[in-house]
Amino acid sequence: MKKCLALILSVCTMALMLVGCNSTTSSSAAVSSSAAADTDVKSEGVMTYEEYVAAELDSQVVIETYVQAKQSWWEDKATVYTQDKDGAYFLYDMACSQEDYEKLTPGTKIKVTGYKAEWSGEVEIVDATFEILEGNYIAEPIDVTDMLGKDELIDYQNQFVSFTGMTVEDSGDGAAFLYSWDGSGSDGDDLYFNVSVDGQTYVFTVESYLCDNTTDVYQAVKNLKVGDVVDMEGFLYWYEGVNPHITSLTVK
Are residues 155 and 63 part of one domain?
Answer: no
Mean pLDDT rounded to a whole number for the chain: 89
CB atoms within 10 A of CB 19: 23
Are residues 148 and 246 part of one domain?
Answer: yes
Are residues 126 and 183 part of one domain?
Answer: no
β 160-169/142-143 pair status: parallel
Domain harbouring 190, CATH code: 2.40.50.140
The answer to whether position 19 is within a domain reads no
Q: How confident is the model at residue 89 (pLDDT cuts 50, 70, 90)?
A: very high
The answer to whether position 10 is within a domain reads no
The answer to whether position 217 is within a domain reads yes
* Number of compact structural domains in the chain: 2
Per the structure, the complete domain to which residue 185 belongs is given by 142-251
Question: How many angstroms separate the CA atoms of 224 and 160, rounded?
Answer: 23
The answer to whether position 153 is within a domain reads yes
pTM of the predicted protein model: 0.86
The answer to whether position 103 is within a domain reads yes
> In the listed set 136, 171, 198, which residue is the last one of a domain according to the structure?
136
Tell me the residue ranges of DSSP E strands in 4-145. 60-74, 77-83, 88-95, 108-119, 122-136, 142-143
pLDDT digits (tens, 9 = 90+) for 45-62: 999 999 999 999 999 999
**Helix ranges restricted to H, the chain:** 2-5, 10-16, 49-54, 98-103, 216-222
Are residues 242 and 153 part of one domain?
Answer: yes
Distance of CA 121 to the CA centre of its chain: 14
The answer to whether position 94 is within a domain reads yes
Are residues 165 and 224 part of one domain?
Answer: yes
Are residues 60 and 110 part of one domain?
Answer: yes
> In the listed set 136, 161, 189, which residue is the last one of a domain according to the structure?
136
Contact status, residue 192 vs residue 171, Cβ threshold 8 Å: yes
Kindly report the three-state secondary structure assignment for every residue of 146-188.
Answer: HHCCCHHHHHHCCCEEEEEEEEEECCCCCCCCEECCCCCCCEC
Are residues 170 and 104 part of one domain?
Answer: no
pLDDT above 70 covers a percentage of the chain that reads 84
Are residues 66 and 99 part of one domain?
Answer: yes
The answer to whether position 180 is within a domain reads yes
> In the listed set 120, 136, 152, which residue is the last one of a domain according to the structure?
136
Are residues 146 and 131 part of one domain?
Answer: no
pLDDT digits (tens, 9 = 90+) for 154-197: 999 999 999 999 999 999 999 999 999 999 999 999 999 999 99
pLDDT digits (tens, 9 = 90+) for 213-235: 999 999 999 999 999 999 999 99
Average pLDDT over residues 54-72: 98
Question: How many angstroms separate the CA atoms of 13 and 198, rounded?
Answer: 38
Are residues 132 and 88 part of one domain?
Answer: yes
